[in-house]
Amino acid sequence: MFADREEAGRELVRALRHLPDDGVVLLAIPRGGVELAAVVAAERGWPLDIVIPRKIRAPGNPELGLGAIAPGVRIIDERMVRGLRVSPEYLEREIGEGEAEIRRRSDAYRGGRPALELTGKTAVVVDDGVATGGTAAAALRWARAQGAGRVVLAVGVCAAESLERLRLEADEVVCLAVPEPFHAVGQWYRDFPQVADERVVALLDRGEVG
């Protein structure tokens, strides 16, 4: 168990020490992932940016994911969609709302600044933890679609089943802890407050995103 996200960030610094000083870009998943990534960025001097995936929520059960999206990326669990008899109309509406929220957050966090160039770089996608892995997979695919030469996932904690899935999406996975049983990311941090948008903006300003 980590004391907080800052402690997990310090441990990620050590876990990522094999990566070179140059040619690396950190891509934090807001909001919690930005806390860890900011610690790594400050220590290693790597530029800090964001990637914003969103879960596709099941009808009547927003905690259940039908897949995930990122800008230009859609991952849909067709078996779950069929099993729950989700209509195409619902799916498109949910995806549309998710894409609108991604745009809103991107504008709020970036403040009009462009995304960092990833072509040929090592993109390190950072989050505080992974439960089902859908949004992490969407973030990894987005980074690869932007031309990253290598894609690394770096997280504090991850469910074992999701970890195996994500090894197929990333060139490398760095996970500090794979606890069993795994119920929720927050249970593995003693201090796990919600991260406000204002805090994300402040950390990205410090990391000179964009």
Of 21, 205, 36, 175, the closest CA to residue 109 belongs to 205
Work out the average pLDDT over 191-196.
93
Indicate left, alpha or beta for 120 from its phi (over 0: left) and psi (-120 to 50: alpha): left
Spell out the domain ranges in the chain: 5-52+112-207, 54-109
What percentage of the chain reaches a pLDDT higher than 70? 98
What percentage of the chain reaches a pLDDT higher than 90? 87
The pLDDT value recorded for residue 210 is: 42
Work out the average pLDDT over 143-171.
96
Work out the average pLDDT over 98-117.
92
The pLDDT value recorded for residue 135 is: 95
Superfamily name and number for 54-109:
PRTase-like (3.30.1310.20)
pLDDT band at 79 (very low <50, low <70, confident <90, very high): very high
Work out the average pLDDT over 161-188.
93
Dihedral (C-alpha) 143, 148, 151, 155: value to the nearest 10 degrees? -50
Work out the average pLDDT over 71-88.
94
> pLDDT tens digits, residue range 167-180?
999 999 999 999 88
User: What fold is seen in the domain 5-52+112-207?
Assistant: Rossmann fold (3.40.50)
Q: Same fold for the domain at 5-52+112-207 and the one at 54-109?
A: no
pLDDT band at 145 (very low <50, low <70, confident <90, very high): very high
Work out the average pLDDT over 62-70.
92
Global pTM reads 0.93
The pLDDT value recorded for residue 206 is: 79
> pLDDT tens digits, residue range 8-43?
999 999 999 999 999 999 999 999 999 999 999 999
Paired sense of beta strands 61-70 and 54-58, if any: antiparallel
* Residue 20, CA distances (Å) to 23, 34, 121, 187 in order: 7, 21, 11, 33
Residue 202: enclosing H or E segment and its boundaries?
Answer: helix 197-207
